[in-house]
Amino acid sequence: MIHHSKFPRIASLQARLQHSNRKCLRLELLEPRHLMAGDTWLVNFQIDEASPVTRYLPDVGATYGVRASGLSYGWSTNHMDVSRERSINADQRLDTLIHFKAGASWEFGLPNGTYEVTASIGDPQVASTHTLNVEGVNYWNAVSLAANAFNTKTMTVTVADGRLTLNQGAAANMATRINYVHIVGVPSGPNGAPGTPTITEPATEGQVVSPGDVHMESMGYTDPEGNAHKSTDWEIWTTGPGAQPVWQTLGIEGIEKYHTHMGDGIFINSRAGQNSLAANTAHELRVRYRDDVGAVSVAAVRSFMTGAASATFPLQLLDVATSPAPTWQDIFGGAIELPGTTGILSPGDAIIPIDADGGSSSPGNESVVEAIDGTLDKYLNFGEVNSGFIVTPGTPATVVKSFQLTTANDAEERDPTSWQLFGTNSPIVSAAHGNGAGEAWTLIGSGAVALPTARNTQGPIVNVANTNAYSSYKLVFTGVKNEAAANSMQIAEVQFFGDAAPGTAPSMRLESGGTGDLLLSVTGTDAVGNVVVNPAGLGVHANAKLVITAGSKSVNLPQTNLSFEDEHGMAHTIYLPIVNLAPGQRVDLWISEDGSTYYGAPLQTEPDFSLLARPSESSLNNPFVALQAGFVVEEVGSDYRLPVNIAFVPNPGSEPDDPLYYVTELYGSIQVVRNDGTKSTFATGLLDYNPTGPISGTGEQGLTGIAVQRDAVNPDIYHLYVGMLWDNGAPAGGQVHYPKVERIDSVAGGLSMASRTVLLNMQPETQGQSHQISNITIGPDGKLYVHNGDGFNAGTAQNLDSFRGKVLRMNLDGTAPSDNPFYNAGNGISARDYVYAYGFRNPFGGAWRASDGKHYQVENGPSVDRFSQVNVGVNYGWDGSNASMGINAIYNWDPSHAPVNITFVQQETFAGSRFPASMLDHAFVTESGPTYAGGPQTNGKRIVEFALDANGNRISGPIPLVEYRGTGQSTIVGLAAGPDGLYFTELYEDSGANGPTATGARIFRIRYIGHAAGDYDRNNVADGNDFLTWQRTLGSVSNLSADGNNSRIVDAGDLDVWRAAYGGGAGAAAMAAAAVQVAAEEPTIATSSRHHDSQVSDASVSDYWLGRLSVAGSPNASASGKLSPETTTVRARDESQRPADTTRIAFQDQALFELFSRGDWRRERKPSLAPQAELGEGQHNAATDLHEAVFDARGRWTRVATIASEFDR
């Protein structure tokens, strides 16, 4: 269970005991776990419903027994009724506790031996006195602690009876409160310590790293006795005076003992409750190894600096335009009005609803406090006539001389029309929703009020003849606009005014953050509206800052938007948070370029984007921005959970429910997306363990790479080749996972899984998070290419007998190809028989470039990343050093940007994805950046472009194409070239509200919209050749060059787009000229028309060419009507007449030429065929209908194929 806000929980003793008994009955069936020397156990004492602490075992007060972990621990008597969560301390370990009952003990089952035990005592809420004994050793005796004060102590104890025992001796019932314990096995006799670790990440002293994602790695375990490496303690400390640990993970095992992330541990002390380190701060990483008998090494230390929390860009302004006038509104469009200087009422003043007739009642969200809250939320009273309120201003003995009402949002009939105002100096004893007669009241005045018809609008100032000071006032509304129609009385706001000396009016200033020079100000006034000052522009652009000051009156505002244009006419909206200021207070807000606001401080002159106040709407809806002209980023899918890779069907069908692409989700599911955009689950539960864990950390593993192929015999069957980590039952649910490759076959139609087959199981080689099996592609040779990380062991990359640290090559059935560079069947098939290239650290992404037939990869290094061409048999040199990442590199990212996927935009892949011709053959790479870091990042969260020469050398790049400009956690991971653009995944749900593993991630498309209308051959002009492009791709969903209306299929509407762009009769002439030109360039065929010399019948020729029309450049209609791949052979009546050397596109072109040669192609619904009498009726009708289908574009190409088939009848 995960919860995100701390609230105290109260449960009945009976319910908790019943819950405890159920647990005990279940847990007694579990097999005890065998413990070993050197083990580290962390236990947190908490209530059952509290959030678990990362890597801590929860103890909820149950009696001693076997727990779900297989360990035995618990209390001598049930303590679930004395467990607590205080919801006060940010450190969850300290916020929770369990009281010791009198005479009770807590025990943990252990082998006899020596242990180092750390215990924490204290209570966040209550001062307390503590006594604690651990295995007979006294830690504290009647030690008094103030509320929210804690003591920790570490001592060495000996266990001789198989259980570590804690008790409070003879202390009183519930005196001692224990928070957590750490139990670490230590050597019982002399034992040499392991050697000091060698820290490899951060790679250098003083390296600057992201505060949200510090990669920690060490190497070089040695031990004088040859004892095995059991676990590692990792800690991050601040430096200088008051240095303290701020993050730790103790005794961590598995792969994490060599390489860990902050998600594998907890933030403590000054960073408790945070999810990142302090930005721009010096830190130290401290690492020590523990062997399997409990000896611990000297700690290795590496200093580093955290960089900025994000790379958010400030809004820079020179001037605010006067026209159109700036607007400041709430999120419902209501104008914001700041208080004046003489208003008497303030939010928080004591106020109660009343009705003189005794009928007062209000909805819960429309209570009387809304009448003075400074917002447009309304006060409604079902007492209607004679309802009102009693208010006691915060300033005593005020003299009210006028008041003003603001209309509510609806129902004008409920507006007050008459009033009575009373005053008293008696204490208020009347009850809320009473008749308000409990005090001695003096009538000050009465009268009528004419409120405006407009909603959420201030009414006139109503004057009252009064010279007396009162401590409280009663305002009764004696009439409403339409008593018969109204069921209540309502107002949005009320304000009283007196004649006190004016104070300082509240104001909002938009100014230069560096100098304070004014760009725009809004100041409150007692009159309706605000005073707005818009001075001349600044001399130079400045980082914008917004300051709201309360002055002598409190300011209470809902979320508001300030909208204006700059000197260039560019529109801006600033998104302000809820503001509640007491008199004299102010709030400073820095503004990012998308209008998001961040809390600042009065003396700051440089932007600080570390604390978000309110995100912009664009950052919530679509936080990704295209940085190159002509491109847009569009959301095309949602509700994914950790989507890591996209694989398009290479030759998709054209029906709406045909699969278009598949998406792997890290935690074991595959989603399929159809041509119509519908998403459904193709397969789920593909892993045999629960991969969930901290991110960054152990949660970053599971299902990754994917390649898709349609079956050659039955194209309705789809084969998915995927890579994953798998337990293989050794043991299920354990920490050790093994890489494997599977083929998953679909049911007919490709929408769900039918079967799965293991192609290559690499057990016993282990891998863990990130450095695992990743990219899978099918090469031009029809082989599988599989990328495999080094599993956090650099030595595997240089070992040809290991699958890890390699690019593997295999047949589609999982066997090793005999032409692999190190293949040798003579000594049996092993890892080296699969090796294509080696010496890689973590080759996340891979793609094939058609122009040179080469494979390319992008790879994560410790601090330096690599982009390289992958060549057969080559060693890429990874040996654990940053320097080795430069071997055979096309480009290195230094510092790391975490490139994770690569694709090429090229003619051979979906005809270039509708990108400009100048970008064809370019590589595009996703830089994921720091793991789960908020906001924009300098080192990542973008897609970059590379241009390469014919030999694969870099010409230019990385040039940003898309960047993250939001305020959340999103980053870019999956990437693939689709028919209509580049598609990419965001790995996380952006808001982060439910953590990094929550469902809610999206898929986006980068689409080029800079083409001229009707320009289908990308030469920047709509001409006759564009008609040929349309004609050749009619019906296609894979080549969308001529998809002028963006319908994701080339159809009739696209011809209309071209005709409109090219213009009228010129379009018809261009079609004819283009077809004749192409036909003239191709080999001719004899026809039987009386206008040509021929040896075959006219019907035969027409049938032949029209039959070819149904396949050239588009799928073919099968007998069932289902679309089959473009490679399907089409039957013509007289197959012997097919020219052997004529291309499929030429077939289509010449088919149209045959039509052109028969008619004048005037823009008529029925073309004039020459001579019509020489055609049979069926032939004439077919040709005419075909003309209509092509020229007038009233149907899809399947209509054309159907017409062509008439000749066979």
**Per-residue pLDDT at 1209 exceeds 60:** no
Cis peptide bond prior to 958, omega within 30° of 0: yes
On whether the CB atoms of residues 973 and 928 are closer than 8 A, the answer is yes
The pLDDT of residue 1195 is 39
Residues in the chain: 1209
Q: Which of 1128, 1017, 1006, 1024 is nearest to 1066 (CA)?
A: 1024
Give residue-wise pLDDT tens across range 1154-1188.
Answer: 444 444 333 333 333 333 334 344 444 444 444 44
**Per-residue DSSP letter, 61:** S
Q: Give me the chain's average pLDDT, please.
A: 83
Q: What's the pLDDT score for residue 694?
A: 63
The whole-angstrom separation of Cα 643 and Cα 974 is 7
Q: What is the amino acid identity at position 585? A: Q
| Residue-by-residue DSSP string for 75-94 | ESS--GGGEEE-S--SSHHH
Q: Coil, helix or strand for 1058?
A: helix
Closest CA to 672 of 647, 707, 701: 647
In terms of pLDDT, which residue wins out, 530 or 755? 755
Cα–Cα distance between 695 and 698 in angstroms, integer? Answer: 7
Does residue 574 or residue 1208 have the better pLDDT?
Answer: 574
13-186 and 342-497 share one fold? yes
Separation of alpha carbons 368 and 375, rounded Å: 12
Alpha-carbon torsion (1063, 1064, 1067, 1069), positive or negative: negative
Distances in whole angstroms, Cα of residue 172 to Cα of each of 104, 148, 169, 175, 176? 11, 21, 9, 5, 8
Q: pLDDT digits over 186-225, tens only?
A: 998 888 999 999 998 888 899 888 887 788 889 889 999 9
Predicted confidence (pLDDT) at residue 14 exceeds the cutoff of 80: no
The CATH fold assigned to 13-186 is: Jelly Rolls (2.60.120)
Residue 122 has pLDDT above 50, yes or no: yes
Residue 363, CA distances (Å) to 367, 411, 413, 486 in order: 6, 16, 18, 16
636-668 per-position pLDDT tens digit: 999 999 999 999 999 999 899 999 999 999 999
Return the ∠ at Cα 845 (arms to 946 and 742), rounded to 5°. Answer: 150
What are the pLDDT digits (tens) for 939-951?
Answer: 899 999 999 999 9
What is 1131-1172 written as a DSSP string?
--TTGGGS-TT--HHHHHHHHHHHHHHHB---S-SSPPBTTG
Q: Are 494 and 475 in contact (CB under 8 A)?
A: yes
CA–CA separation, 869 and 948 (whole Å) = 11
Strand 57-59 and strand 40-45: the pairing is: parallel
Tokens of 105: 């003990």
Structural contact between residues 546 and 518, judged by C-beta atoms closer than 8 angstroms: no
| Strand, coil or helix: 389 | strand
Residue from 206, 151, 159 nearest 176 by CA? 151
Q: How confident is the model at residue 1070 (pLDDT cuts 50, 70, 90)?
A: low
Strand pairing partners for 285? Answer: 236, 302
Name the more confident of 1121 and 180: 180
**Integer Cα distance of 714 and 702 in angstroms:** 31
CA–CA distance, 754 with 720 (Å, rounded to integer): 11
Q: Which CATH architecture has domain 198-306?
A: Sandwich (2.60)
Q: Indicate the Cα dihedral angle 642, 645, 650, 652, nearest 10°.
A: 10
Predicted confidence at residue 1080, as pLDDT, reads 44
Encoded amino acid at 1153, one letter: F
CA 147 to chain centroid, in Å, comes to: 39
**Identity of residue 1045:** N
Residue 1125 predicted with pLDDT over 60 = no
In CATH, the number for domain 342-497 is 2.60.120.260
CB atoms within 10 A of CB 974: 26
- Distance between CA atoms of 302 and 1040, rounded to whole angstroms? 54
pLDDT in tens, 1002-1046: 999 999 988 888 899 888 888 888 888 898 899 888 899 999 888
Does residue 290 carry a pLDDT above 90?
A: yes
- Name the percent of the chain in helix, strand, coil, to the closest 5: 15, 35, 50
Write the pLDDT tens digit of every residue in 513-544: 999 999 999 998 766 678 999 999 998 889 99
pLDDT tens-place string over residues 59-92: 999 999 998 778 999 999 999 999 999 888 999 9
Banded pLDDT at 857 (limits 50, 70, 90)? very high
Please give the helix or strand (H or E) that residue 1183 lies within, else none.
Answer: helix 1177-1187
At 397 the three-state DSSP class reads coil
- pTM of this prediction? 0.63
The residue ranges of every structural domain in the chain are: 13-186, 198-306, 316-328+503-608, 342-497, 625-1008, 1024-1208
- Choose among 117, 142, 120: nearest CA to 131: 142
| pLDDT tens digits, 127-170 | 999 999 999 999 999 999 999 999 999 999 999 999 999 999 99
Say whether pLDDT at 925 is over 90.
yes
Q: What is the mean pLDDT of residues 714-732?
A: 85
DSSP sequence for 878-946: -SSSSGGGGTT-SEEESS---EEEEEEE-TTTGGGGG--GGGTTEEEEEE--STT--S-BTTBSEEEEE
Residue 720 near residue 743 (C-beta atoms within 8 A) = yes
CB 317, CB 542: distance < 8 Å: yes
Residue 185's closest CA among 107, 69, 293? 293
Three-state SS sequence of 175-208: CCEEEEEEEEEECCCCCCCCCCCEEEECCCCCEE
Mean pLDDT of the 950-964 span: 94
CA dihedral of 663, 664, 668, 670, whole degrees rounded to 10: 30
Structure confidence at residue 1206 (pLDDT):
39
1115 pLDDT tier (thresholds 50, 70, 90): very low
Is residue 811 helix, strand or coil?
coil
pLDDT above 70 covers a percentage of the chain that reads: 83
Least confident of 449-453, 614-618, 1202-1206: 1202-1206
* pLDDT exceeds 90 at position 339: no
Cα–Cα distance between 1162 and 1168 in angstroms, integer? Answer: 8
What is the pLDDT, as a whole number, of residue 644?
Answer: 95
Q: What is the DSSP string of 771-792?
A: SSEEEEEE-TTS-EEEEE--TT
pLDDT > 90 fraction of the chain, expressed in percent and rounded: 58
* Strands (E) located in 995-1050: 1001-1008
Written out in words, the top-level CATH class of the domain with range 625-1008 is mainly beta
